[in-house]
Structure 1
Amino acid sequence: MREDNLRVLHISDLHLDSKYTPGSEANCSSELCCHMKPESNGSTITQPSGYWGTPAVCDIPYRTVENMLQNIQKLGKIDYILVGGDYESHMDWTYTKENHLETIRNLSTVLHKYFENTPIYWTLGNHEGVPVDSFAPHYIPEKYRPQWLYDELQQLEGPLLDMKSIETVKYRGSYIVQLHPGLKLISLNSGYCETSNFWLRINETDPDGTLSWLVAELKQAELDGQYVHILSHIPPGDGECLESWARNYYKIIA
């Protein structure tokens, strides 16, 4: 185990908006503001959106994230980066697989641009689902499952995963890696506890055996005398996580 400190960059909930337009209306009645809409031509804008972002019902443009990473890079070496989910904008009901993949790949490109040799570990947020919050377990017909998303997650991690973790991430969107001697990382797909994941209404009992998998990995880490860093998106104690799943999670890690 390392005796010196690790420097970790953890970013989450970026909600990137490719349609963000500076100077557009930030005070609107739509699902998401700061978009230039054809019907707004000629109308008076009451709250113009800013260049980098706006404290309103708006998400942020890519340039803001790139500027953030550019400045973080100047602070010195980062040992590894954790990317905590929710990469897509809040235009929930316009989601498509193609747009999601484009957003994830664009974010990956800019991360590697500024942290070329730094390991980057991803997890999935509820906004990665298409539709939003949708993560169909394996008891649901294949055409509804987010296999496209799990495959993309596996591609993002690339050579950082061994064969066992590749199989795991392609099955349930979770994985485990050895960060350093004595320290492992578990990326846990919390989409299986999302209260709005309607597929869980069919069966809420440990979807895809994810908590059982977590138990086995933590037990092995304990036997090996290793610490574990868990990366996930939805806090189990939050109202967005199913109570039964959260209770079992806390029993496992306690």
Structure 2
Amino acid sequence: MKRLLLLVSLFMMSQTAFSDIIETPVTLPDDLGTGVMYLNDKQKKPGPGVIVIHEWWGLNDYARDRARMLARAGYTALAVDMYGTGKVATHPKDAESFMKSAMAEPEKMNARFEAARKMMLKQQQVEAGRLFAIGYCFGGGVVLNQARMGTDLAGVASFHGTLGTDTPAQPGDIKARILAATGQADPMIPAEQVTGFVKEMTEAGADFQLLSFPGVKHSFTNPKADAVAERFDMPVGYDAHADQVSWKALVDFIEHKSHAE
């Protein structure tokens, strides 16, 4: 009986912890797509907000989990379907097709991001000047390009995202602080791309941090990366240390910006 009561108690505690996070599907205006908003019910005053952009797979459980983690940390998070179709890939060929289709319409992608940004600014839980954007893989490239465009954000963070660009930022272009985390064993983000990124950010006068993890592959924050590597023979892999260190760096990045304002 005591064991049963203990299990019931633990279950209720788990349910209470989960119920603190309010998950709400949202629709962007002008048929731009959808997203999911995550609010922390314990949040008593306005604080940081974070837009989350998914990997090339689409707005799947992983991207939602990251947004949920941000809400648990006390932030308001909006996970956006940057493809605008609701489709989620499970095969790399489909993911590549979705990504290429989206990138072929940069104006629509920018409009989608801007709609999400404006939606977040209207949330009473998000304090003015404390809106961030983070992205993984494809999403990392998306948020970095928003920074290059001078989008009004407190900061952007890229995790195993593309660091190169055809239109480098010029001095004075970048308003947001930048955090980029990459793996040194990631063939999709080769050393010359990392070097070019550092040169670009330095010449643009950006306030940026670069985390480069030795021996770490692409998708190092995604626990399912090892299964993907085995199934599709891809050079990706989860790394618990890099995941934990980069997540801690993200929280510090957000808190530092918040405290500096």
Q: Same fold (TM over 0.5)?
A: no
TM-score normalised per structure 2: 0.32
Structure having the higher Rg: 1
RCO comparison, higher one (Cα < 8 Å, 6+): 1
TM-score normalised per structure 1: 0.33
Q: Which has the higher strand share?
A: 2
